[in-house]
Amino acid sequence: MNLYNKAATTLLLIFEVILIFTGFTALIQKDYGVFKLSLLAAFSILIPFILSCLAKKKKLNLPLGFQLFGIIFIFTAQYFGEIKNFYDNIWWWDLMLHGAFGSYMVITFLHLIKGIIRKEAEITHKKYVMTIALFAFSFALSLGTLWEIFEFSGDFIFDTGMVKGGLEDTMSDLIVKTASALITSSIYYFKKRNE
């Protein structure tokens, strides 16, 4: 187990205790909205570990800090953003998280494809790098869209109120993710095209 995974496991335990305590307190106070958000966050925060196990089983590469980034992202989005109302009180909180998500998903894709996608002899290096950058960008947008579906589903099924701003919130999230994914993919392209 590397240092990143140890840190992720430690943080997971700390975050789970915080979420369970918050959920239990909310249940006692009959604040069912916070209870549902705490429950949803407590399960969601396990997703990076589940994905890491699946990737390891399938012999796929993930960035070293994948679990750490994932649980910090989910905790800051769900606990600070939703439960502690950072989304309402700090105007840039949502934008910062979605920007980080867009960039990191490009990086994740670049690790996932190692050893899977190879350059064929008849393809120029620039075309190969452009294709990788385009797919990395598309991967980030796809996962960003899935996150928005997750937020909508949480609202629809559990009445969590995650999409407070409606269409404007969803579109600004997608625009920020798109911009950060485009910037990160472009950096990859310009860095690798002349190697």
19: Cα separation from own chain's centroid: 19
Q: What does the mean pLDDT of the chain come to?
A: 92
104 and 184, same domain (yes or no): yes
Task: Let me know if 102 is exposed, middle or buried by CB neighbors in 10 A (0-12, 13-18, 19+).
Answer: buried
Q: What is the pLDDT of residues 74-119, one digit of tens each?
A: 999 999 999 999 999 999 999 999 999 999 999 999 999 987 888 8
- What is the tally of structural domains in the chain? 2
Tell whether 33 and 57 lie within a shared domain: yes
Query: Do 76 and 119 share a domain, yes or no?
Result: no
User: Exposure pattern of 160-171 as b/e (b: 16+ CB <10 Å)?
Assistant: bebbeeeeebbe
- Which one of 51, 66, 84 terminates a domain? 84
Tens of pLDDT along 147-158? 889 888 877 887
Please indicate, yes or no, whether residues 69 and 96 belong to a single structural domain of this protein. no
What would the pLDDT profile of 163-187 be if each residue is shown by its tens digit?
A: 767 788 889 999 999 999 999 999 9
Q: pLDDT band at 4, cuts 50/70/90?
A: confident
3-class DSSP assignment, residue 119? coil
More confident residue, 195 or 97: 97
Q: Check whether residue 188 and residue 95 sit in a common domain.
A: yes
- Check whether residue 125 and residue 77 sit in a common domain: no
Last residue of a domain, one of 84, 111, 131: 84
Q: Are residues 62 and 105 in the same domain?
A: no
